[in-house]
Amino acid sequence: MSSGPHGKAFSGRVGWGGSPALVVIDMVRAYTEQGGPFLLPEPAPAIAATAELVEAARSAGHPVCWTVVKYAAGMADGGLFARKVPALAAFAEDAEGDWGAIAPPLRPRRGEPVVVKQYASAFFGTSLASTLHALGVDTVVLAGFSTSGCVRASATDALCHGLRPQVVRQACADRSPQLHEANLADLDAKYADVAELEEALTRLA
């Protein structure tokens, strides 16, 4: 993407390192199925793009990590986030439905870490950064839901952890195209590189 109206102040690239991992963020039924508390208008294209990324990463032997949201019964570990977003109660252990399950046809393979989180970022209060650093990863390819929420927070924290965030445009989605595009533009300006699907597939291969 171009640097836009801000010129050289926001024109940098973090680029790709030599050891990428794919992180699939909260691609769960709550966002994809009718009745889900966070149902997106068009999740299918992002799911399909992510399936391509997963296959490419697996074929090349790159790590694939997943995140899901889960709370204790009664939401004791929901903190102020659950107060701000009451619908997060759908991810509690005693909630009806299985809204926190990975959305089909996506499915983690045995041996692929599934990180359980309570907040937006995949890195906050989790083992993800330690896991990726121990694997020698220097670049995180990010896909998931939603662009303005958990993807954005995870990309920002990836940068803070010394990892090169590459957010794949076609593998994320949000409540509206406008939110999706606005957040991608701002991420690309300040915290991550926004990559096209074909570029990401090529790099992973």
Q: Give the residue numbers annotated as catalytic, written as ranges.
A: 150
What distance in Å separates the CA atoms of residue 16 and residue 83, rounded to the nearest whole number?
38
Q: Which residue do the tokens 């490419």 mark?
A: 56
For residue 202, the Cα-to-chain-centroid distance in whole angstroms is 19
CA distances from 130 to 4, 8, 58, 85 (A): 35, 33, 21, 28
